[in-house]
Structure 1
């Protein structure tokens, strides 16, 4: 900085101080900051081509509920994802090539369940891609398979069948008016070099030579293989790796390898994220910058695009936003949306990184990072800065050169850990450089974008309040949903599709379409098809449906399905199963897929291709099963107090269902009063009797006040009454020491508690108990969850 410019800076600071202060941006001399960084924005400098920031729909049902949202909420959610100058403004959408098999939190439907029977209307990914393109015609589309139907290659993914399957999928894309830009192999299942060569040849021969092949959506070792195999190297256009910054970490370091960087091909973080929509925003802010700084990766793709799935599923809060209540229209826009927008709204694919304008503040990654990109017009530029780990204000001194604009610079900012929307994507101030130079003061915990571009914006849509889904509920499947899946149903394995009824019945029914066990991505011990729906807070109800078996085997109704283990490795639920022979059972499953038979017997044979009415009544601890209106048996079990209904088949059979119905049972006895600790004279207390979400749940002297009045029912503790907010495990955490607070009741298993015989309250999601840390008795001690041990600090007396 020259002496002349030092004298001019305070004059500029006077003009922008008032606007910039609240957003964490002020114009100050470097001497006023503990750390000072010189950033050279030189348009003639070298750097790789930027390929964009995107997100993934797939890897298991994470977008499933979005099509069933009502308007205008559905359009608003889509706008926040894809509309330029509104929200995340995603530049790439990666979609799953469905395979009828669980691929994390659900199964994506195949377009070809059986060989040769191509149905381009299957699933919801085409619908989502169409919606994305309608909002941003320039968005890039990327296809990748997690699994595949079992007929492919006799169970061998790396087969010519799979190449042909992808070619037919591209034909479906064309039918939908969609152009696929990128195509991968098998998600996180390594690679087969010869298969990629066959794929490249098939694409070229089929008129898809413009599609770029990505390999291997796994680790960097694929670059080692490509280094020594020229045919493999020539077949692949982009090296894509997953979680280069580590899995579910703070994403502080994001390296690649020298072999990868020396291939002369674009390097991508083709899957990153797996972070909470709010709590994961700092990690995402780091990774978008550091992928390039550390590893020269030119694309960041977040998993998933949205958490439009039920709260009992493992990754229920990961993504840009959360949309788990299509019946109420409630949703929340995550802070990850805004840290993403700080790059996407100010850059575009085809821009170039400027290496001299990219690095770590003060040369230390603990201070934060910055990257600079120049536009294809060779005039505009944007510098994105994150200060996630900084502990004090610091100064950035910019020098603009190399033909880039030295005109007015616009500064936008997001205070990442703030829940106040006024702190997110704020146009903080404008700066006019002097002699191509200017300085900014950067506050800790922010993402800043310094840009010469204009036209950015921020959506202001407000969601409706959350609400329970009311009973009774029924669906005869005569009215088509937005997609081929029945409304509100989320498939966990297999594919449940609305079709014309069989068994001489007219109208529409739901059929399980996967006729053989798929090539699987997950490794659960029990992988039969089932689908679930509705409100996880439901407790006493009857679930009923007509069922018709097409092959010998069993169909089932599910009730009180709550916590599902990671990758469908178990489910807390009750099952009523009936076979074509008439054998029936009431069975309990758990999160390790251990099955306990609670009752069993034999009734009149159901036979094949004949319709029968099945029902399962769940009333308090009594479970009652009926066939064609006649009770066949009952059982008593207190393991699960609430959860969703559903139906399924116990093998890969194409059985059918119709006339699904839910009716409310008699309300459980509900009690209001204090929750007393076994620690003498202490009660569960809501800090200050506040109804603000996030208020800590604490220990306090029992006083009978409003802050200690709790409603107990359906496995939930609600403040003040049945319409109050819930005792909630913060962020759906499951680790020892995770704190407990007050939150909007949403049916999540982190808000469900099961009383144990020793007086403890076990969290349904975590399996850990409500606990007073270290058995402390100090008023104001915030409660947590901890391994159940039966200690006095874990024993509670519920209202009676």
Structure 2
């Protein structure tokens, strides 16, 4: 199921198969997002008999101004500083994951609380039991989708009855209450009562594992460096992508250009040469973003190598304002050069808003250096250190990232990227 709103269609139930919410959550990770996550983790089973809920996404590790910024269980969007933030949805997750294990089974009980909210009970089949209770109110638990019908939750005293032919007194001699602190309390004659306030999560368990909320102090946050260089000279990279670049369409990977006799043996290469089948309206061009969305004035320089003959092309760009599922509508200042020896300056990724065009002398299978200078309402461009165009008036966007990319899904290489902002 895809964002099922905790409900399952009757035909799915009739299959008698295990049901999962295979993509869910996708909500800004503040207190309301945590409430969303708490509610659906329980109610996907209580209402929809779904035994697994998979969050999109686990860690928000992309520029926050992109679509769905901070829609992860935690945030780690500054690889240049190492800063991260363990957001509230992580602690909601821990209420379940610290006190259950893969292979545990849900008990078939009516998990609706009389005053609103829900509970689930899980067991390992070996005598251990965990109960997770949530009392999230409507306004404190709205997810990004689907629309949440109104409901009410009130403070309540809930009584739980533990029954079963194999459940002895010793098994339930203690349960651990995990909220702001850990407490032990007795189960009397197979039942216990709790006073539940609204917008709270409680875990009760026979396990002695788990710990109170806590994590190491992360490094302090820092803005993206205003003077940034990358020559991509990594001989044995531990991963394929260059740091800090955020590919929106296409894939940009480290590349060893063994045939190059000069300074461009190690480069960054766009490697997707056929448009993928995608669920979103991706661009016809490839693009990778980098930098600080708040940048206004910037100088972007990059060596480029067009591999596609005749109609190949590449660009460098500044003040790029969008990406993700909205990448087709991306605006900015785009400096294009093409294999047929022409250039264009456009105000959009699609290339429809032409600000200037002319001849450049650029050809495929040769290295060239492009420089884009954006200052205030004016932009200019250099080719191999010499002015190619200047005094192009820029009205919008007023700020945005830097970017590199290609005219189509084609091979192309980039080297010695440098930005000053």
TM-score, L = length of structure 2: 0.89
Is the contact made by 1:503 and 1:610 (CA closer than 8 Å) also made in structure 2? no
- The 2-side partners of 1:312 and 1:595 are apart by 24
Alignment-derived partner of residue 490 in structure 1:
246
Cα distance, 1:566–1:521 mapped onto 2, change above 3 Å: closer
- The 2-side partners of 1:638 and 1:297 are apart by 51
> Pick from 411, 414, 420: which aligns with 2:177?
411
> Pick from 190, 199, 202: which aligns with 1:436?
190
Is the contact made by 1:312 and 1:564 (CA closer than 8 Å) also made in structure 2? no
> Pick from 117, 135, 149: which aligns with 1:387?
135
**SS across alignment from 2:17:** coil
> Pick from 238, 243, 250: which aligns with 2:3?
243
- The 2-side partners of 1:322 and 1:265 are apart by 34
Alignment-derived partner of residue 316 in structure 2:
557
Give the superposition deviation at 1:392.
3.6
Matched, 1:477 2:232: yes
Alignment-derived partner of residue 56 in structure 2:
303
Cα distance, 1:322–1:568 mapped onto 2, change above 3 Å: same
- The 2-side partners of 1:628 and 1:406 are apart by 77
> Pick from 272, 282, 294: which aligns with 2:35?
282
Give the superposition deviation at 1:594.
7.2
Is the contact made by 1:557 and 1:575 (CA closer than 8 Å) also made in structure 2? yes
Alignment-derived partner of residue 347 in structure 2:
588
Cα distance, 1:566–1:515 mapped onto 2, change above 3 Å: closer
Is the contact made by 1:564 and 1:572 (CA closer than 8 Å) also made in structure 2? no
Cα distance, 1:481–1:296 mapped onto 2, change above 3 Å: same
Aligned residues: 395
Alignment-derived partner of residue 119 in structure 2:
370
**SS across alignment from 1:359:** coil
Is the contact made by 1:503 and 1:548 (CA closer than 8 Å) also made in structure 2? no
Alignment-derived partner of residue 707 in structure 1:
none
**SS across alignment from 1:337:** helix
Matched, 1:622 2:378: yes
CA deviation map 1:4-44 (0-9, x unaligned): xxxxxxxxxxxxxxxxxxxxxxxxxxxxxxxxxxxxxxxxx
**SS across alignment from 2:59:** coil
**SS across alignment from 1:342:** helix
Matches within 5 A, 1:684-695: none
Give the superposition deviation at 1:541.
1.6
Matches within 5 A, 1:74-93: none
Is the contact made by 1:529 and 1:649 (CA closer than 8 Å) also made in structure 2? yes
Give the superposition deviation at 1:265.
1.1
Give the superposition deviation at 1:264.
2.0
Alignment-derived partner of residue 314 in structure 1:
67
> Pick from 405, 409, 413: which aligns with 1:652?
409
Give the superposition deviation at 1:651.
0.8
Is the contact made by 2:157 and 2:196 (CA closer than 8 Å) also made in structure 1? yes
> Pick from 329, 333, 353: which aligns with 2:82?
329
Is the contact made by 2:281 and 2:325 (CA closer than 8 Å) also made in structure 1? no
- The 1-side partners of 2:42 and 2:278 are apart by 34
CA deviation map 1:684-736 (0-9, x unaligned): xxxxxxxxxxxxxxxxxxxxxxxxxxxxxxxxxxxxxxxxxxxxxxxxxxxxx
**SS across alignment from 1:617:** strand
Structure 1 or 2: larger helix share? 1
Is the contact made by 1:481 and 1:487 (CA closer than 8 Å) also made in structure 2? no
Give the superposition deviation at 1:391.
4.9
CA deviation map 1:186-243 (0-9, x unaligned): xxxxxxxxxxxxxxxxxxxxxxxxxxxxxxxxxxxxxxxxxxxxxxxxxxxxxxx111
Matched, 1:612 2:368: yes
Give the superposition deviation at 1:275.
0.9
- The 2-side partners of 1:290 and 1:619 are apart by 53
Give the superposition deviation at 1:284.
1.4
Is the contact made by 2:248 and 2:323 (CA closer than 8 Å) also made in structure 1? no
Matches within 5 A, 1:249-260: 254-260=6-12
Matched, 1:548 2:305: yes
What is the CA RMSD across the aligned residues, in angstroms?
1.8
- The 1-side partners of 2:296 and 2:379 are apart by 12
- The 2-side partners of 1:268 and 1:369 are apart by 19
- The 2-side partners of 1:499 and 1:517 are apart by 21
Matched, 1:632 2:381: no
**SS across alignment from 1:289:** helix
> Pick from 346, 352, 356: which aligns with 2:99?
346
> Pick from 9, 13, 17: which aligns with 1:265?
17
**SS across alignment from 2:278:** coil
Is the contact made by 2:230 and 2:417 (CA closer than 8 Å) also made in structure 1? yes
Cα distance, 1:372–1:255 mapped onto 2, change above 3 Å: same
**SS across alignment from 1:287:** helix
Alignment-derived partner of residue 206 in structure 2:
452
- The 1-side partners of 2:4 and 2:395 are apart by 45
Is the contact made by 1:353 and 1:373 (CA closer than 8 Å) also made in structure 2? yes
Give the superposition deviation at 1:485.
0.7
